[in-house]
Amino acid sequence: MKKWWVKAAVCVVIVTVSLAGLWWSIPSQKTKLLLNNHSFQATILRTDKELIRGLSGAKSLAKNKAMLFVFPYDDTWRIWMKDMNFSIDVIWVNNSNKVVHMVKDAQPSSYPDTIFEPNEDSRYVIEVISGTIERTGVKKGDRVTLPSGV
């Protein structure tokens, strides 16, 4: 009888440690970024499905929230307003964490006629509620503090 309990206890410990290790190894999908010392809780998008969907279908975006698109390589990543329900500001950031292009007040009605594209390569795109560029004073060349590990 004792052997059964010992084996069960060992199995529980192994499973618990394994699950804890798995949980700690999963990167956080929500984290902080800074635009001109204004803090935003960012949702990080990395997979093709996430990058394509973005904010499509979302009902709103809070003033202190952001979507951070993390692309696998530098390019002139294009953004559209497909299935958007509200206006946004879009900020393209290069692999040195500097703003290379911005679009203020991108309107849902711009789809499908307009696709927004930077003039320079970027690695990241940040989407925030319309008015954020004005409110924060962010401008081309500014450094953005991105979450570590992106």
Domain ranges of the chain: 28-145
Q: For the whole model, what pTM was predicted?
A: 0.80
pLDDT digits (tens, 9 = 90+) for 66-117: 999 999 999 999 999 999 999 999 999 999 999 999 999 999 999 999 999 9
Q: Give the closest residue to 90 by CA, choosing from 111, 68, 110, 74.
A: 68
Fold of 28-145: Jelly Rolls (2.60.120)
